[in-house]
């Protein structure tokens, strides 16, 4: 913690020096007092961005994102073989990038205009716990399913595709989706982003609400009555999705 605080203070100091030099260079016709008047409000606002709170929350966010995507690729490569895996296994799409950029814009706007909103540590820590729990659930799903787990929905039967009902799959039918839902919403709670929390919950839920019936249409074709019985016994894992 003390190391992170030291880093934040150093960033604030370096940024202040950079802004002072830049404004002084481009405002050469102004007096020193005028330059200071220009610099002070900019530095004050940016210091709010580089507080300990922001450094901690943003570092947790970026660490969560990097670990999630890199581990997805590594697991896919180790299970299916590196030659059978593409960069799509990083699970980074245009829509995903837009969503994350929106969440970061919300964060920076709110920490400048409403800095107290980001100081609710019990909320932020709850989000961090959700990120960890969601990550664990999803990775348990991938490891348990093994070669039966793919990032793309299978529309044709495969010799490696089996109906997995043991481990985490005893509790929910789609633990991978359940884990991602918890993880994605948790990232926004961790940042204390009220707008993005609601938006992520609705968008991700809607995505799985459409994806699960589509996927299960093929699962019923592949496994017949065995899958029907499994559906009756085990919930989907995504709220309000049968």
CA distance 194 to 31: 43
Inform me whether the pLDDT recorded for 188 exceeds 80: yes
Please tell me the distance from the alpha carbon of residue 242 to that of residue 234, in angstroms, as a whole number: 10
Which CATH number does 53-233 carry?
1.20.120.1630
Phi, psi of 160 (to 5 degrees): -90, -5
Ranges of each domain in the chain:
1-50, 53-233
Give me the pLDDT at residue 81, please.
87
> What are the tokens at 52?
């300990």
Q: Which residue has the higher pLDDT, 181 or 83?
A: 181
pLDDT tens digits, one per residue of 116-131: 999 999 999 999 999 9
**Range 201-215 average pLDDT:** 97
Answer with the residue of higher pLDDT: 108 or 161: 108
Does pLDDT of 95 surpass 80? Answer: yes
Q: Who has greater pLDDT, 165 or 34? A: 165
Mean pLDDT of all residues in 57-83: 93
Indicate whether 39 pLDDT > 50.
no
Per-residue model confidence (pLDDT) at position 26: 53
Closest CA to 215 of 170, 160, 148, 139: 148
pLDDT at position 29: 46
What pLDDT, on the 0 to 100 scale, is given for residue 235?
97
- The confidence score (pLDDT) of residue 86 equals 78
Tokens standing for 50? 């580089």
Confidence of residue 21 (pLDDT cuts 50, 70, 90): low
Report the pLDDT averaged over residues 149-172.
91
Rounded to two decimals, what is the model's pTM? 0.83
Length of the chain: 242
- How far is residue 63's CA from residue 56's CA, in Å, rounded to a whole number? 10
Give whole-number Cα distances, 77 to 81, 93, 177, in Å. 5, 19, 20
- Whether 8 shows a pLDDT value over 70: the answer reads no
As a whole number, the mean pLDDT across the chain is 86
Dist. CA 146–CA 1, nearest whole Å: 38
CB atoms under 10 Å from CB of 130, counted, come to 20
CB contact set of 234 (below 8 Å; sequence gap of 6+): 165, 169, 170, 171, 172, 173
Q: Compute the average pLDDT of residues 89-112.
A: 92
Helix axes 175-190 and 52-80, enclosed angle (nearest 10): 160
């Amino acid at each position: 913690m003390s190391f992170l605080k030291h880093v934040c203070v150093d960033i604030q100091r370096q940024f202040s020096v950079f802004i002072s030099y830049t404004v002084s260079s481009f405002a050469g016709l102004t007096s020193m007092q005028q330059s200071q008047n220009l610099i002070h409000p900019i530095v004050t606002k940016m210091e709010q961005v580089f507080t300990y709170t922001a450094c901690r929350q943003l570092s947790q966010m970026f660490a969560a994102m990097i670990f999630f995507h890199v581990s997805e690729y590594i697991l896919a490569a180790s299970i299916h073989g590196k030659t059978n895996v593409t960069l799509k296994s990083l699970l980074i799409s245009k829509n995903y990038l837009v969503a994350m950029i929106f969440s970061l814009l919300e964060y920076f706007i709110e920490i400048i205009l409403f800095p107290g909103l980001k100081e609710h540590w019990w909320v932020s820590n709850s989000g961090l716990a959700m990120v960890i729990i969601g990550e664990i659930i999803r990775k348990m799903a991938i490891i348990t399913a093994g070669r039966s787990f793919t990032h793309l929905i299978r529309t044709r039967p495969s010799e490696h595709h089996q109906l997995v009902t043991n481990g985490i799959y005893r509790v929910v039918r789609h633990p991978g989706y359940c884990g991602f839902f918890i993880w994605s919403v948790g990232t926004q709670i961790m940042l204390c982003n009220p707008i993005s929390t609601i938006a992520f919950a609705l968008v991700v839920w809607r995505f799985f609400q459409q994806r699960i019936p589509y996927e299960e249409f093929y699962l019923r074709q592949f496994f017949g009555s065995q899958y029907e019985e499994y559906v009756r016994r085990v919930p989907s894992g995504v709220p309000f999705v049968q």
